[in-house]
Amino acid sequence: MAGLGAIALIILAFRPSPIQVDLGEAKRGTLLVTVDEEGKTRIRSRFVVSTPVAGRLNRIELDEGDRVKQSSVIARIDPLPLNSQVREVQAKLREWQAERAGVVTQRPKQEALLQAQARIRAAQAQQREAQAKVEQVQASLAQAKRDHIRAQRLAADGAISRQELESAQLLEITRTRELEVEQREAESAAAEVVAAREELSILRAEQRDPDYMLDVYDARIASAEAELARLADDAARTEIKSPVDGEVLRVLQESARHVEAGTPLLELGNPEQIEVVVDLLSTDAVKVKSGTKVLIEHWGGEQTLEAKVNYIEPSAFTEISALGVEEQRVNVIAEFINSSVPLGDGYRVEARIVIWEGHDMLIVPLSSLFRCEQAWCVFVVEDGRAKKRQVEISKRSDFEAVIQQGLELGEVVILHPTEEIEDNKRVAPR
């Protein structure tokens, strides 16, 4: 008996001790497959209020956090320079309107044109009368010439006296002189017609001459009216009003100073409209859909806040990671389900975007799985020994996996199996 006892002690002394392992259990539960990434809160609608006109900005009395109402005055530009420019342009406009009216008065009056036309008609009548007299005298002269020739023949025959011959000759000379006089009268009447027509042409030219000046003044007046409208609009915008109900997020220009048009003054927003911006790798972003549940954790409170994906921005951007790797990332915008959240603008959060959710699933810790050939395997503990078993999984998260077949509820599996663990080897819980 002593010998048998010694042999047993020797066998026990040289027998390998069980491997110390961590154990887990196959159990039923809910599995969430998520894409985890840091995010940042922001106010959904931000408004940067800028100066609409250049001028001297009065000191802004608002501070960060002050509430403002829509259409309330939040800043003022000194309107005096603009008002002075308005009065200057108004004076210039009146001056040009008066000068234009003066150009119009320089035109010949309508009565002068009518008088010139009447003079033409009178001259034409005198011309016709003088032409008729010329024709009448020409006829008398022709008759006197015939009478003179007849008298010459009769005198040669001795039928008439010399005195009658001289009378016929004198009548011809008289009719010739009368014709010359009437012709000069006709020429004078024709010249009068020409002069009257030239006078009418001059009046009509003078009527058209101011047209280019009127065009010049019309252009100046139109320019002044446009400038006046612009200045009046600028003067009306020297009181800068809030576009929304909200709070002052930042005061960008506080002190009184001269500013140019477009200078940012204040940043406004509604702190009750908070959303979360999470930038994901583009390969992860394609798995996210609008309306997907988002869990907000590690924001400073104990509870997990819930949100949902509102939209995914359509364009990606390039970012260099901490390791110097160039990555394509996409912003995913989520809105809180509960509008009253204890977060402000620009707060850091950790977001878990749920891309798959399963309930009452058989799950095991992900650390219990390892690759065996082309499948997944686990070590199941049976009677203190590790039994290698092939399993089929479906979905998995960073910590757990869903078992489709190969395990039963309540079976114990080894976590973090090492190379020294082999099939049928003795193990013991750590």
- 381 contacts 375 by C-beta, under 8 angstroms: no
| pLDDT band per the 50, 70, 90 thresholds, residue 203 | low
Spatial CB neighbours of 394, under 8 Å, sequence gap ≥ 6: 402, 404
- pTM, rounded to two decimals: 0.58
Q: Is residue 150 scored above 70 in pLDDT? A: yes
pLDDT given at position 376: 92
CATH class held by domain 32-45+272-358: mainly beta
Q: For residue 86, is it left (φ>0), alpha (ψ between -120 and 50) or beta? A: alpha
pLDDT given at position 211: 63
What rounded mean pLDDT belongs to the chain?
85
Q: Per-residue pLDDT tens for 312-353? A: 999 999 999 888 899 999 999 999 988 778 888 889 999 999
Q: Per-residue pLDDT tens for 68-120? A: 998 888 898 887 777 788 888 888 888 878 877 766 665 656 676 777 788 88
pLDDT given at position 312: 93
Q: Mean pLDDT, to the nearest integer, of 126-137? A: 86
Q: Mean pLDDT, to the nearest integer, of 186-201? A: 81
pLDDT given at position 189: 83
pLDDT given at position 228: 84
pLDDT given at position 239: 86
Point out the least confidently predicted range of 16-25, 192-201, 255-264.
192-201
pLDDT given at position 103: 66
Q: Which CATH number fits domain 16-31+359-429: 2.40.420.20, 3.40.50.920, 3.40.50.11750, 3.30.470.20?
A: 2.40.420.20
Per-domain residue ranges for the chain? Answer: 16-31+359-429, 32-45+272-358, 47-78+239-269, 107-209
User: When comparing pLDDT for 6 and 169, which is higher?
Assistant: 169
CATH code reported for the domain at 47-78+239-269:
2.40.50.100
Return the sign of the alpha-carbon dihedral for residues 192, 193, 194, 197: positive
Residue 133 CB coordination number (10 Å) = 17
Point out the least confidently predicted range of 90-104, 127-141, 354-368, 415-429.
90-104
DSSP string, 397-416: -SSEEEEEES--TT-EEEES
Q: Is residue 178 scored above 60 in pLDDT? A: yes
User: When comparing pLDDT for 165 and 267, which is higher?
Assistant: 267
